């Protein structure tokens, strides 16, 4: 996990330091319906004579990075993220949830002044997730994995400040909604849970980039 975070940080800093556009860090909370996952794990627990119930709750938390550049009046870029390790234990059964995601993004920024920008955007990509369950004595182990591919329309609001004559730093908030167009397709279990990462997502993050001209005049590109 530490090595993965170091790779993400290194990639973001490279994008930010280069002349290719912008890069940054982000934290995301995804508000998906987890009742189907809890129901599946409850049934596994009951098969082992357990009486408790699993209590996975939204949101699922992610940490990641992103980068991109302006191509004419639009932005083109991409992002990737890892979910924070989610753990839940009931009776003698414990479960862990882990997920990764990657997206391509196109945005349509508008800057009414050099400090504020509004950017409607559309992400296209997917995610993969693994749910692992085992008894505390590790005598019984189960896993099931799935993937989704879909689209996430959203809107972003960012405030920017110059850090030099050629660079800037921005703080952004973004809301989007992930809609699967394929999947989830489950592996490793004949009776998979009724669960996917579909739902509303809220992102906050930092963005580093170069100064550029905007449609509203000279301002901060990102």
pLDDT at 59 (0 to 100): 94
Q: Cis before residue 128, ω within 30 degrees of 0?
A: no
Which residues lie across from 208 on neighbouring strands?
Answer: 23, 169
pLDDT at 191 (0 to 100): 84
Q: Can you tell me which residue has the tokens 């932005």?
A: 75
Domain ranges, ordered by start, for the chain: 2-220
* pTM over 0.85, yes/no: no
Could you list the pLDDT tens digit for every one of the 222 residues in the chain? Answer: 444 444 444 444 444 434 458 899 999 999 999 999 999 999 999 988 889 999 999 999 999 999 999 888 999 999 999 998 899 999 989 999 999 999 999 999 998 887 899 999 999 999 999 999 998 887 888 888 999 999 999 999 999 988 877 788 999 999 999 999 998 889 887 888 889 999 999 999 999 986 444 433 333 454
Domain 2-220: which topology?
Porin (2.40.160)
Give SS3 for 151: strand
Give SS3 for 113: coil
């Amino acid at each position: 996990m530490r090595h993965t975070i170091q790779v993400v940080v290194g990639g973001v800093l490279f994008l930010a330091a280069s002349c290719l556009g912008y890069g940054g860090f982000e934290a995301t909370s995804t508000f998906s319906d987890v009742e189907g996952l809890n129901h599946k794990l409850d049934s596994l627990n009951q098969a082992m004579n357990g009486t408790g119930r699993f209590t996975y709750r939204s949101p699922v938390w992610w940490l990641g990075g992103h980068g991109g550049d302006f191509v004419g009046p639009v932005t083109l870029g991409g992002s990737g993220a890892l979910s924070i390790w989610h753990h839940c234990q009931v009776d003698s059964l414990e479960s862990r949830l882990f997920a990764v995601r990657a997206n391509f993004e196109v945005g349509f920024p508008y800057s009414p002044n050099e400090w504020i920008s509004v950017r409607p955007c559309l992400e296209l990509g997917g995610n993969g997730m693994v749910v692992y369950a085992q008894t505390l004595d590790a005598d019984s182990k189960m896993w099931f994995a799935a993937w989704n591919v879909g689209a996430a329309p959203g809107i972003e609001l960012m405030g920017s400040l110059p850090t030099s004559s050629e660079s800037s730093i921005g703080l952004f908030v973004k809301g989007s909604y992930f809609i699967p167009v394929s999947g989830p397709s489950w592996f490793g279990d004949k009776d998979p849970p009724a669960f996917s990462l579909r739902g509303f997502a809220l992102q906050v993050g930092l963005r580093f980039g170069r100064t550029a001209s905007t449609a509203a005049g000279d301002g901060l590109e990102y």
